[in-house]
Amino acid sequence: MRKNLKYCVIGSGSWATAIIKILSENLKEINWYVRNKDNVEYIYKNCHNPNYLSSVELDIKKIYINDDINEVCNKSDVLIIAVPSEFTNNILNKISINIADKIVVSAIKGIIPETNLLVGEHLEKNFQIKENNFSVLGGPCHAEEVALEKLSYLTIGSSNKILAKKIASKFTCSYISAQTSDDVIGIEYSSLLKNIYAIAAGIAHGLGYGDNFQSVLMSSSIKEMNRFIEKRYLMKRDINDSVYLGDLLVTGYSLFSRNRLFGNMIGKGYSVKYAKMEMRMIAEGYVATKKAYLLNSESSKKAKIPIIESVYNILYLKRSPKKTFKNLCEKIN
Question: What is the 3-state secondary structure of 162-206?
Answer: HHHHHHHHHHCECCEEEEEECCHHHHHHHHHHHHHHHHHHHHHHH
CA separation for the pair 314, 266 (Å, rounded): 9
What's the one-letter identity of residue 250?
Answer: V
82 — phi, psi (to 5°)? Answer: -130, 70
Inform me whether the pLDDT recorded for 265 exceeds 70. Answer: yes
> Using one digit for the tens of pLDDT, what is the confidence trace for 57-114?
999 999 999 999 999 999 999 999 999 888 899 999 999 999 999 999 999 988 888 8
> Using one digit for the tens of pLDDT, what is the confidence trace for 295-326?
999 888 899 999 999 999 999 999 999 999 99
What's the one-letter identity of residue 326?
Answer: K
231 — phi, psi (to 5°)? Answer: -70, -30
Q: Which CATH architecture has domain 7-182?
A: 3-Layer(aba) Sandwich (3.40)
Distances (CA, A) of 279 to 211, 251, 260, 274, 327: 25, 16, 11, 9, 28
Domain boundaries defined on the chain: 7-182, 189-328
Sequence-distant (6+) residues with CB within 8 A of 230 are: 303
Confidence of residue 277 (pLDDT cuts 50, 70, 90): confident
Inform me whether the pLDDT recorded for 176 exceeds 80. Answer: yes
Q: What is 189-328's CATH topology?
A: N-(1-d-carboxylethyl)-l-norvaline Dehydrogenase; domain 2 (1.10.1040)
Chain center to CA of 59: 25
pLDDT, averaged across the chain: 93
